[in-house]
Structure 1
Amino acid sequence: MASTLGTPRPDQAAYMLRAAASGAGRVYKRELLDLLDVRTGQTALDVGCGPGTDLPALAERVGDDGTVIGVDRDPDMLARARERTKDLRRVEIREADAHALPVEPGTVDRARIDRVLMHVAEPADVLAQLRRATRPGARIALAEPDWDTLIVDAEDLETSRAFTRWTTTEVVRHATIGRGLARLAEQAGFHVETVLATAPVFRDFQDADHTLGLGRNMQNAIDAGHVDRDRGHRWFAGLSQGPFFASFTLVGVVCSR
């Protein structure tokens, strides 16, 4: 058996762009953007904008009289975001942590946070920053997965369950934030208007390995003694032989200030 499993950790920007371009990614992003109801002349904020995946769509909706602000703390991500939006007027890229948004209080009409809160140190503090930045009547769109709902079909069901437990306890900082997203938004002082739940489906093993980190995370679980080595290798080999199925729950919340 091979000493390591699956693909190496992908370039983060390429990973985000590929996820956004997938069928499931396009569907939920379009739905949240439509519900956000961005209008001409508004100021729209994308917290954790990454390589600028969603900035062009926001810029199209605010028009020439509006402003789009993309915030991220990673200089490499910001460089790609600037390159991606270099021909777009009214797009501003700012380097900062989500816990200290570089935005004047009460100046944002529309805001979005997409799969970022699961990684930050204090999600509640980030939402408090967002409330400070937004105007009364502003709309906010949030999207986060619930990795506790990750299911991977395999004959060895217990190892699939062990993989999910490893993901939720060791891989993602706030792995179950999706289920608490509406509650956190209300606690931050927002009025929750819409709660959505979608279940992205993976039928292609290679795509799932890239997106879900099946191999690399199983290898880490084996190295940590969380899963028996031979059992983990057999599990991964069985997945690669197909047919394949995996899914998880992605929660979207749209709220107002």
Structure 2
Amino acid sequence: MINNDAQSRPDPIAYLDQVAASAAGRDYKQQVLKLLDLHPGQTVLDIGCGPGTDLAAMAAAVAPAGQVIRVDRDPVMIAEARARLTEQPLIEVRSGDVHALPLDDGSVDRARTDRVLQHVADPKQVLAEFRRVARPGGRIVMAELDWEGLLIDSPQPAMSRALGQFLAAEIIRNATIGRSLARLCREAELVVRSVVTVAPVFRDFTTADQAFGLRRNVVRAIDAGYLKPDAEGWIDDLSSQPFLASALLFLVVAEIPG
């Protein structure tokens, strides 16, 4: 189940910008860009790219004759991406559902999903759509968290476990998508080229709070019965002490047989 309490959610554009600007965000995004193996003249699809934070780097890699197409259905994200990318002629922002991509068959060389499949209704359908729109030999690179791999150091480990259980059961639609990506790709008749894991470490509470919504989700977990009311004091204590958290992120590369 996904909790849609809008009042407790941060501004989505600010959230995505903060993650991209963090050291952990920069590191894995650079790895994704390298794994895409972009070349001049290619057409690159960004599936659900939010405000377009990373598109300029992809456009530079396929210049001067390539193209980057981003697809998102959120009108706020679309407007923000278009505003940010007005001086990027190689980038086209399209409105559309990632389950039914607004692209022709066999029209793209590369595709990327970055923490998108954890939220979609049907990850298998998204991968099937990539297979449809990709050319023979086309490559997709996926970056997805496995939310059961969220670790928070605490003198009260049961609190950390309960918060993780709440996030995986109630907040994230496809909480274990990271570990499932390789299997889902094989079921979609894609060839899995590599699977690697990254475990970014957060030693600053504020940065981790921005990435995982620790404070707001503790409150929601209390309301849902996963945590007792004293958990608010627990998270306050964590914020004022030496802090460490980590999460397991899967980077999977798959290709169309060709």
TM-score range relative to shorter protein: over 0.9
- For residues 229-244 of structure 1, the aligned pairs below 5 Å read 229-230=229-230, 232-244=231-243
1:83 maps to amino acid: A
Superposed CA deviations along residues 110-138 of structure 1, whole A, max 9, x for unmatched, are: 11111000000000011101110100011
1:68-112 CA distances to partner (integer Å, 9 max, x unpaired)? 101001011011111121101121100011101001010000111
Contact kept in structure 2, 1:47 and 1:72, CA below 8 Å:
yes
2:248 corresponds to: 249
- The answer on whether the counterparts of 1:64 and 1:89 sit within 8 Å (CA) in structure 2 is no
Partner of 2:96: 96
Letter in 2 for 1:197: T
> Could you tell me how far apart the structure 1 residues matched to 2:225 and 2:137 are?
51
Aligned residue number for residue 115 of structure 1:
115
**How far apart are 1:234 and its partner, in Å?**
2.5
- Distance in structure 2 (CA, Å) of the matches to 1:237 and 1:71: 39
How far, CA to CA, are the matches of 2:161 and 2:147 in structure 1? 12
TM-score under structure 2 normalisation?
Answer: 0.94
> 1: distance between equivalents of 2:16 and 2:200?
15
User: How far has the Cα of 1:163 moved from its partner?
Assistant: 0.4
The structural deviation recorded for 1:30 is 1.1
C-alpha displacement at 1:8, in angstroms? 5.3
* Contact 1:154 1:238 (C-alpha < 8 Å) held by counterparts: no
What CA distance in whole angstroms lies between the structure 2 residues aligned with 1:44 and 1:237? 44
Structure 2 letter corresponding to 1:107: S
Query: What does 1:1-257 correspond to in 2, within 5 Å?
Result: 9-230=9-230, 232-257=231-256
For 2:124 and 2:209, the matched residues in 1 are separated by 31
**Residues 32, 254 of structure 1: 8 Å contact kept:** no
Percent identical pairs in the alignment equals 52
Please give the secondary structure, in 2, of the residue aligned with 1:138: strand
After TM superposition, which residue ranges in structure 1, 4 or more long, deviate above 4 angstroms? Answer: none
- How many Å separate the matches in 2 of 1:211 and 1:32? 18
Structure 1 position 240, deviation (Å): 1.3
Letter in 1 for 2:22: S
Is the partner of 2:41 in helix, strand or coil?
A: coil
Is contact 2:43–2:67 with CA below 8 Å preserved after alignment? yes
Tell me which amino acid in the other structure corresponds to 2:127: L
**Structure 2 residue matching 1:229: 3-state secondary structure:** coil
Structure 2 residue identity aligned to 1:46: D
The Cα shift of 1:44 comes to 0.4
> For the residues of structure 2 that align with 1:58 and 1:46, how far apart are their CA atoms?
9
CA distance in 1, matches of 2:17, 2:65: 27
The whole-number CA distance in structure 2 between the counterparts of 1:203 and 1:27 is 16
The gaps in structure 1 that reach 5 residues or longer are 1-6
